[in-house]
């Protein structure tokens, strides 16, 4: 559960997951997008990425995390300052209820406040449902994203790599 500031506000709460408890409360939803990462590895990775500017925002409703966005603000020659979304996921039991839209709107406001010129994300080609959501948010396909795995180095038998 996220720390709710002293308030009588009801409804969804959007806040940065800061404590270990708050980050770990996000894991069940994040695991729907990143099932290969266990809770302990998730916490460790979030802590390492925070040193690179990563922030994890969660939308909590009725004491349960319903949606997450992990992002960082970077600067590139192509764009200037940009808010880059690493992870965006809504709990499968709560999709199409507006949680994703509320969280997306918050991220756009974060980008505006930070002086960003754009919000960008990469989405796997097989995630058609997610793509429909992004198109509804007025996002568009900008580029191909090329990648390759870096092969592990191997010795030539003489102690050289």
pTM of the model: 0.82
60-77: per-residue pLDDT in tens? Answer: 988 899 999 999 999 999
Q: Please give the residue that has the higher pLDDT: either 27 or 147.
A: 27
Asked whether the predicted pLDDT for residue 145 surpasses 60, the reply is yes
Side by side, the strands of the sheet bearing 13-16 are 13-16, 55-61, 64-76, 80-90, 118-121
78-136: per-residue pLDDT in tens? Answer: 999 999 999 999 998 877 778 989 999 999 999 999 999 999 998 888 888 888 888 88
Structure token pair of residue 98: 């507006």
Q: Which CATH superfamily is domain 13-136 in?
A: Gcn5-related N-acetyltransferase (GNAT) (3.40.630.30)
What pLDDT is recorded for position 7?
42
Give bridge partners of residue 60 from the DSSP assignment: 13, 65
Asked whether the predicted pLDDT for residue 6 surpasses 50, the reply is no
Cα–Cα dist 118/37, whole Å: 29
What pLDDT is recorded for position 3?
56
Cα–Cα dist 105/88, whole Å: 13
Parse the chain into domains and list their residue ranges. 13-136
Q: How far is CA 151 from CA 69, 103, 106, 148, 157, in A?
A: 30, 37, 39, 9, 17
């Amino acid at each position: 559960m996220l720390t709710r500031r002293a308030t009588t506000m009801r409804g969804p709460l959007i806040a940065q997951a800061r404590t270990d408890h708050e980050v770990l409360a996000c894991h069940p939803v994040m695991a729907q997008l990143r099932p290969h990462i266990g809770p302990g590895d998730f916490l460790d990775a979030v802590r390492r990425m925070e040193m690179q500017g990563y922030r994890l925002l969660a939308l909590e409703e009725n004491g349960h995390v319903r949606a997450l966005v992990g992002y960082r603000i970077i600067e590139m020659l192509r764009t200037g300052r940009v808010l880059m979304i690493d992870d965006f996921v809504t709990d499968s039991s709560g999709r199409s209820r507006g949680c994703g839209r509320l969280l997306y709107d918050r991220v756009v406001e974060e980008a505006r406040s930070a002086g960003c010129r754009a919000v960008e994300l990469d989405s796997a080609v097989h995630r058609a449902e997610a793509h429909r959501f992004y198109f509804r948010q007025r996002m568009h396909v900008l580029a191909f994203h090329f990648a390759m795995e870096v092969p592990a180095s191997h010795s030539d038998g003489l102690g050289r790599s």
